[in-house]
Amino acid sequence: MNCPHWFSQSCAIAGQLAGTDYVPVAPPECGRCGAGDTPRQVNRVTAALALRWVRAHRPQHLPQARLRLRPLLDCPTCYG
């Protein structure tokens, strides 16, 4: 993966959005992020990955994460 935020099959951007170091991701997800209009940065793909991680690992933080990440998920020009 040719991305400076990719580390051991994890994404640092999604991790930062989720409040952790890294969020595990699969190569297809990284491909979607890298092929879009805003590649390899905060975008809808990384926000969705972060929200999925919070839902699975810190469900008590899910309401705050949804509020914080909703603008990215709804952004029509923030597609990764």
**Is 58 inside any structural domain?**
yes
Q: What percentage of residues in the chain have a pLDDT greater than 70?
A: 95
Write out the DSSP string of 23-50. Answer: EE--HHHHHHHHTSSSTTSSSHHHHHHH
**Is 40 inside any structural domain?**
yes
DSSP assignment letter at 24: E
**Is 3 inside any structural domain?**
no
* Whether the predicted pLDDT of 1 surpasses 60: no
Is the Cα dihedral 53, 56, 58, 61 positive or negative? positive
Q: Which residue has the tokens 């690992």?
A: 57
Number of domains in the chain: 1
**Is 2 inside any structural domain?**
no
pLDDT of residue 61: 95
**Is 46 inside any structural domain?**
yes
pLDDT digits (tens, 9 = 90+) for 12-29: 999 999 999 999 998 888
**Is 5 inside any structural domain?**
no
pLDDT of residue 80: 56
**Is 4 inside any structural domain?**
no
**Is 63 inside any structural domain?**
yes
What is the span of the domain harbouring residue 33?
10-74
